């Protein structure tokens, strides 16, 4: 059973909140970007992310789960055929919230909520040694210098290993 959301229901009961979030999600998927209050955007983010995750699965059951939330078949079709392939390589974080300032009438904090449709640039996994080499200026090395540097690092590693073995034996 879903745990009820604590706190205010955005100006109505739970059913009203569900309908409002469904309409906001439909508008987000149709226009790719909407302008709304910060509170509504924060409540919309998990709903929209879950619907995009269903769309990435792409099977009939996922389509029916999305149709249970968003009743408009054209919006669901657009979500499954246009948006899902664009975010197929992304592992979450399908929405972006950018603060715009305050509304003139009631001073409510306004935000721009948009879908993140840019292609993902894969993160390069690197260890500390390769990061240090990348940040150091590149100098022309002769093969002899490279061999001596490698030999020094191997000697340093063996000395450290010997020291660790010696300390382990002393602890016994």
Averaged over 134-154, what is the pLDDT?
Answer: 55
Q: Using one digit for the tens of pLDDT, what is the confidence trace for 118-138?
A: 988 877 777 765 555 556 555
pTM: 0.67
Q: Which residues contact 38 (CB under 8 A, 6 or more apart)?
A: 97, 99, 108, 109, 110, 111
Averaged over 51-79, what is the pLDDT?
Answer: 96
Q: Using one digit for the tens of pLDDT, what is the confidence trace for 87-107?
A: 999 999 999 999 999 999 999
Q: Using one digit for the tens of pLDDT, what is the confidence trace for 3-37?
A: 777 766 788 888 999 999 999 999 999 999 999 99
């Amino acid at each position: 059973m879903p745990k009820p959301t604590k706190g205010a229901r955005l100006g109505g009961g739970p059913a009203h909140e569900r309908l409002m979030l469904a309409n906001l999600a439909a508008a987000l998927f149709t226009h790719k970007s909407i302008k709304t209050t910060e509170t509504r955007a924060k409540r919309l983010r998990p709903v929209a992310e879950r619907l995009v995750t269903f769309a990435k699965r792409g099977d009939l059951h996922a389509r029916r789960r999305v149709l249970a939330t968003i009743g408009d078949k054209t919006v669901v079709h657009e979500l499954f055929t246009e948006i899902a392939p664009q975010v197929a390589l992304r592992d979450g974080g399908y929405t972006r919230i950018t603060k715009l300032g305050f509304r003139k009438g009631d001073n409510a904090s306004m935000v721009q909520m948009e879908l993140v449709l840019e292609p993902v640039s894969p993160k390069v996994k690197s260890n500390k040694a390769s990061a240090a080499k990348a940040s150091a200026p590149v100098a022309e090395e002769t093969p002899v210098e490279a061999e001596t540097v490698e030999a020094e690092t191997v000697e340093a590693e063996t000395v450290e290993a010997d020291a660790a073995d010696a300390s382990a034996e002393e602890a016994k």
